[in-house]
Amino acid sequence: MAVSNPDRLKADIDALVPELIVLRRDLHEHPELAFEEVRTSGMVAQRLRSLGLEVQMNVAKTGVIGLLRGGASQPGAKTIAIRADIDALPIHELNEIDYRSQVDGKMHACGHDGHTAIALAVTAVLSKRRAELNGNVKFLFQPAEERLSGAKPMVEEGAMEGVDGILGLHLISTYPLGRVGVRAGTVFASADRFVFTVHGKGGHAAEPDKAVDPIVIAAHMITALQTLISRETSPFSPAVVTIGLVHAGTAFNIIPETAVLQGTLRAFSQEHRAKLLRRMQALTSGLASAMGGSCEVELFDGCPPCTNDAAMTAVVHKAAVASVGEQAVDSGEDIMRTASDDMAYFLNAAPGCYFVVGAHNKEKGGAYPHHHPRFTIDEDALRVGVEVLTRAALEFLG
Ligand SMILES: [Zn+2]
Ligand SMILES: [Zn+2]
């Protein structure tokens, strides 16, 4: 297998790098938002077809699936899936680069242009080895990750049928170039958006005794919600509750009828997530009724945590060590993210591993975070991603 011939693999990838960068820059110049990725998916499909893959378009609206059938498949051969997200963000790019976004108000500010280019490069490298592949490789180009709404419908439409393992990566702009982070267990948190609407009784600001003040109730809620983390959560189980929006009132001298709080919950296990959601509802409803009002709770955009399978993680770890060396592979807690990613739905459908690839180069300037208008990646990270994914897929198929 190619794994036993690593120098040829490195040489193949090196030969692809110039094209890989051209491709990534083209995607960067033409960002498309969730479920609008028409140009992107058209380009992806055309490339997959040109390599002889079986292509399925319009999966979950703008997703694309490419199937590479191995030429040396024995009975019972496995199928490995490789997932890349393809969408951009509603952000106006502030980088002064010659391949700057050509679409005002839209930008690849999370590196998904890189993910798409990496996966396409992997299709090229593996296609070349098609005759020796014992098994299949299924490439999943997923729309609408930024809205956490593209992966779930792809799974529902059968994208994971017949898949024995799933791999994916995220480039990280604040993690040093040349490093790969791979870890078993949960690596990206769950995410739930919540809206609490507190109902009181409006009135004159000078006569609070004749009203039920929803602002005071909301203020107690904001403080009490933090005790779910500080008093009800094990210090060994990370979780976050943030209220990011408070809205109430129309004038300084009026007690309003309602107050609205919105925020997000992040947790690292399904059980912890469920418990916190349950307790949040009980706490806010109980507090509101104890103070003479009521609270309506709405939950949106829920996404489970991304949890890596131990055996799949071992496969990726081996591939990462072969690609960047043992000292450049991190497995500690510092690679965990409280951000969430709907890769979770693929990981729940088959054992898999989602890993991170460093894309920050100190010499090349500031490390802006993801979703920032000056977000950049060092393009040298692309070849690292290609190599780790390719090696891991070959190792898995054996
Ligand atoms: Zn993002
Ligand atoms: Zn992202």
Name the closest ligand to CA 109.
Answer: 1
Q: Residue 246 C-alpha to ligand 1 middle, in angstroms? A: 24
Secondary element (H or E) of residue 156: helix 151-156
Q: Residue 366 C-alpha to ligand 1 middle, in angstroms? A: 18
CA–CA dist 149, 107 (Å, integer): 19
| Residues 259 and 291 sit within 8 Å (Cβ to Cβ) | no
Backbone angles phi, psi at 333, to 5 degrees: -65, -20
**pLDDT at 99 (0 to 100):** 97
Q: Which of 78, 301, 332 is nearest to 185 (CA)?
A: 332
**pLDDT at 5 (0 to 100):** 58
**pLDDT at 2 (0 to 100):** 47
Contacts with 323 (C-beta within 8 Å, 6 or more apart), sequence order: 180, 384, 387, 388, 391
Q: Which of 203, 15, 170 is nearest to 85 (CA)?
A: 170
Q: And the tokens for 339? A: 């951000």
Q: Residue 110 C-alpha to ligand 2 middle, in angstroms? A: 5
**pLDDT at 366 (0 to 100):** 74
Name the closest ligand to CA 114.
Answer: 2
Regions of the chain where pLDDT drops below 50: 1-2
How far is residue 101 from each of residues 91, 104, 144, 282, 317, measured CA to CA in Å? 10, 7, 18, 46, 35
Q: And the tokens for 183? A: 């870890």
Name the closest ligand to CA 171.
Answer: 2
List pLDDT tens digits, range 295-322: 999 998 789 999 999 999 999 999 999 9
Q: Residue 107 C-alpha to ligand 1 middle, in angstroms? A: 11
**pLDDT at 186 (0 to 100):** 97
CA–CA dist 387, 255 (Å, integer): 61
Q: Which of 47, 59, 42, 65 is nearest to 162 (CA)?
A: 65
> Would you name the residues annotated as active-site residues?
87, 145
pTM comes to 0.92
CA terminus-to-terminus distance, the chain: 8
CA–CA dist 215, 225 (Å, integer): 15
